[in-house]
Amino acid sequence: MIEIGKNQCLNVVKKTDFGVYLGTAEERILLPKKQAPADLEIGDAMEVFVYRDSEDRLIATVNKPLIMLGMVAKLKVKETTKIGAFLDWGLEKDLFLPFKEQTYKVCPGDECMVTLYVDKSQRLCATMKVYNHLATAENYQKDDKVTGIVYEIKPEMGAFVAVDFRYHGMIPKNELYGNVKPGDIVYGRIIKIRPDGKLDISIREKAYLQMDEDAEFLLKYMEKNGGRIEFTDKADPEQIKQCTGMSKNAFKRAVGRLLKAGKISIEKDGIIQK
């Protein structure tokens, strides 16, 4: 049986001037002449991928797509229209990502995580709703460094991440600092491996390592704001996070480091850079 969206090994059943037919006498598919080796003979086997061409005909190709049915992959957006986007998946005909299958609006040049499905017209399409297609973790340990792509954000929970572009991961709400948005590539470390194999990750270093980085950030922040911060470490946590992207505890640690180094002074209504 010829299956759309998959690599499969098919036998040559007929040769023509415009290509060869693969499959069986009852079910066959065209491999265009420009992709068929000249020395192919009846009965030879070819590994091909099956999809629909620009004229909506089933066709075989020896080219390797960047994604197949059952896979999750990061693809680049080539074009957007009123009905959806078109992605580069390594084949002549771009892959359609319907608007209703987007979990956030994409723009040309963006990279997004998608998986394939077959629509009602038996065409291959992409969807960004990848949650049920990611795998549970294998061979990871706490504090392992990982890379991932953010594919969805739920403010009440955190950011959903495809860890190493394959596994279930999340940046919990209390670890979600800075302007993280869907489509971002993030670099972090595993802080928890859940019993179901899903990973909690942090995009911040351990406190004692993060402190120096945060302190340096605050110095640059003050330089851009006239040499001061308009609040102290006693400010409301939401104000601190909104202005600096830090938790109140991280902010206090960084302020303490700068104060000890003699680089700032704390006044009643703010922090001054020396």
Across residues 51-55, what is the average pLDDT? 88
Q: Which of 157, 181, 202 is the last residue of a domain?
A: 202
Asked whether 191 and 235 are in contact (CB, 8 A), the reply is no
pLDDT at 207 (0 to 100): 55
Asked whether residue 162 is assigned to any structural domain, the reply reads: yes
What average pLDDT does range 162-184 have in this prediction? 87
Mean pLDDT (whole number) for 75-89: 96
Spatial separation of the C-alpha atoms in residues 74 and 219, rounded to whole Å: 36
What does the block give as tokens for 246? 């830090």
Task: Provide the angle, in degrees to the nearest 10, between the axes of the packed helices 248-260 and 237-244.
Answer: 70
> Is residue 17 pLDDT above 60, yes or no?
yes
Burial 55-81 (b: 16+ CB within 10 A, else e): eeeebbbeeebbbbeeebbbbebeebe
Range of the domain at 192: 134-202
Per-residue pLDDT, 256: 83
Please report whether residue 66 resides in a domain: no
Assess whether pLDDT exceeds 80 at residue 208: no
| Number of separate domains in the chain | 4
**Domain shared by 142 and 198, yes or no:** yes
Q: Is residue 142 part of a domain?
A: yes
Give residue-wise pLDDT tens across range 87-111.
999 998 999 999 999 999 999 999 9
Question: Which DSSP helix (H) or strand (E) runs through 167?
Answer: strand 167-172
Distance from C-alpha of 6 to C-alpha of 51, rounded to nearest angstrom: 8
CA distance 129 to 166: 14
The model's pTM: 0.69
pLDDT of residue 206: 61
pLDDT tens-digit readout, 127-171: 999 999 999 988 899 989 899 999 999 989 999 999 988 899 999
d(CA 119, CA 110): 24
Segment 200-228 shows an average pLDDT of: 80
Answer yes or no: is pLDDT of 190 > 70.
yes
Mean pLDDT of the region 258-268: 86
